[in-house]
């Protein structure tokens, strides 16, 4: 699979996400995803399915070293000592002695950012984490993170789909050598019903969902997560590497962005989001 290289992290461009996926579904679907060819699996402490993700990777028959595994530390664990112990707990659940990428899940003013970044660096120095990153950070917090961190910050995982203009975040990431990992690519079910996307899909013999996943990974330094609990849809999500969107098609999809396009913005967690010009 194609990868995005960001500060030495070679991240497969298409990942399999497990947000809101109960343990039994993880055990059923993740081994099938890996068997199909997915090599990037994304979870988080707050998803409460790390143990099942670890079990599923073991059950897949694919070597741990061939899987790029991401998890995220929850905001309640940002104090230094809590952070370190939570990572040990995550590793135990995941049945591994390291993760390929560890992210701060959301910004939190409850613990100084310097302390959060310091803890990320500590677990990296200890060999428990190969690469570090952030999630749901705006450009100001991205810049602060880079300035505070001894180790390079590999990615910022953010909501990104055709209805949300993330140009400012993308430009800020590229300026510092970071990648962007897109989640909510299907815009909470809006994508499959979008006329423009269906028209473009018909020209390529694809689905609207495949077009959006392709649109994301065709952008420089962008990784995307896909997700399904339906085994029959796994091949659709994976089959995005045999076609290219034209420049006009890429631009037309970008024009779907609208001011109210953001879907995920939880109170008490969301930062002051960057706004498109």
Q: With contact defined as beta carbons under 8 Å apart, do 210 and 201 qualify?
A: yes
Q: What is the pLDDT of residues 31-55, one digit of tens each?
A: 999 999 999 999 999 999 999 999 9
Q: What are phi and psi of 135, to 5 degrees?
A: -145, 140
From 47, 78, 163, 183, active-site residue? 47
Annotated binding-site members: 105
CB 142 within 8 A of CB 134: yes
Query: What is the predicted pLDDT for the residue at 143?
Result: 98
Q: Say if residue 72's pLDDT is above 90.
A: yes
What is the CB neighbour count within 10 angstroms for residue 90? Answer: 26
**Mean local confidence (pLDDT), 11-28:** 98
DSSP 120-187: HHHHHHTTSBS-EEEES--HHHHHHHHHH-SSPEEEEEEE--TTS--HHHHHHHHHTT-EEEEE-TTG
In the predicted model, what is the mean pLDDT of the chain?
97
Q: Give the pLDDT confidence score for residue 255 in this predicted structure.
A: 98
The alpha carbon of residue 207 and the mean position of all alpha carbons in its chain are separated, in whole angstroms, by 22
Band of pLDDT at residue 121, cut at 50, 70 and 90: very high
Determine phi and psi for 101, rounding to 5 degrees: -150, 130
The SS3 call for residue 55 is: helix
Kindly state the average pLDDT of the residues 64-79: 98
Q: Is the pLDDT of residue 178 over 90?
A: yes
Confidence of residue 276 (pLDDT cuts 50, 70, 90): confident
Question: In whole angstroms, how large is the CA radius of gyration of the chain?
Answer: 18
Mean pLDDT of 145-168: 98
Angle between helices 139-148 and 113-125 (to 10 degrees): 50
Kindly state the greatest CA–CA separation across the chain: 54
CA distance 179 to 160: 13
Q: Report the C-alpha gap between 215 and 240 in whole angstroms.
A: 10
The percentage of the chain sitting over the pLDDT mark of 90, rounded to a whole number, equals 98
Query: What is the architecture, at CATH level 2, of domain 3-187+216-242?
Result: Alpha-Beta Barrel (3.20)
Helices (H), the chain: 23-36, 50-60, 80-94, 113-125, 139-148, 167-175, 195-204, 208-217, 234-238, 247-254
The length of the chain is 277
Q: What is the mean pLDDT of residues 16-28?
A: 97
∠ CA 224-111-181 to the nearest 5 degrees?
Answer: 5
210-268 tens-digit pLDDT? 999 999 999 999 999 999 999 999 999 999 999 999 999 999 999 999 999 999 999 99
What average pLDDT does the segment 157-181 reach?
Answer: 98
Q: Is 275 exposed, middle or buried (0-12, 13-18, 19+ CB in 10 A)?
A: exposed
Task: Look up 47 and say whether it is catalytic.
Answer: yes
Task: Determine if the pTM surpasses 0.85.
Answer: yes
Mean pLDDT across the stretch 98-118?
Answer: 97
The answer to whether 144 touches 169, Cβ cutoff 8 Å, is no
């Amino acid at each position: 699979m194609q990868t995005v290289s960001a500060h030495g992290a070679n991240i497969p461009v298409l990942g399999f996400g497990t947000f809101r996926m109960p343990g039994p579904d993880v055990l059923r679907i993740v081994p099938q995803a890996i068997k199909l060819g997915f090599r990037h699996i994304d979870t988080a402490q707050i998803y409460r399915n790390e143990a099942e993700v670890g079990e599923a990777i073991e059950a897949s028959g694919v070597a741990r070293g061939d899987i790029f595994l991401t998890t995220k530390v929850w905001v309640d664990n940002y104090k230094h000592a809590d952070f370190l112990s939570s990572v040990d707990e995550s590793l135990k659940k995941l049945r591994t002695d390291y993760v390929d990428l560890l992210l701060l899940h959301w910004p939190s003013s409850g613990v100084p950012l310097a302390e959060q970044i310091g803890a990320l660096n500590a677990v990296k120095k200890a060999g428990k984490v190969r690469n570090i990153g952030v999630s749901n950070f705006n450009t100001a917090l991205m810049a602060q993170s880079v300035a505070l961190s001894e180790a390079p910050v590999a990615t910022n995982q953010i909501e990104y789909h055709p209805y949300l203009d993330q140009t400012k975040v993308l430009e800020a990431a590229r300026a510092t050598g970071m990648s962007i990992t897109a989640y909510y690519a299907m815009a909470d079910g809006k994508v499959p019903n979008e006329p423009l996307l269906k028209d473009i899909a018909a020209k390529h013999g694809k689905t609207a969902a495949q077009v959006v996943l392709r649109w994301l990974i065709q952008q420089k330094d962008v990784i995307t997560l896909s997700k399904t609990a339906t085994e029959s849809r796994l091949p659709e999500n994976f089959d995005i590497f045999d076609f290219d969107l034209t420049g006009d098609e890429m631009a037309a999809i970008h024009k779907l962005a609208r001011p109210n396009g953001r879907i995920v913005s939880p109170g008490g967690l969301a930062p002051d989001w960057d706004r498109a010009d």
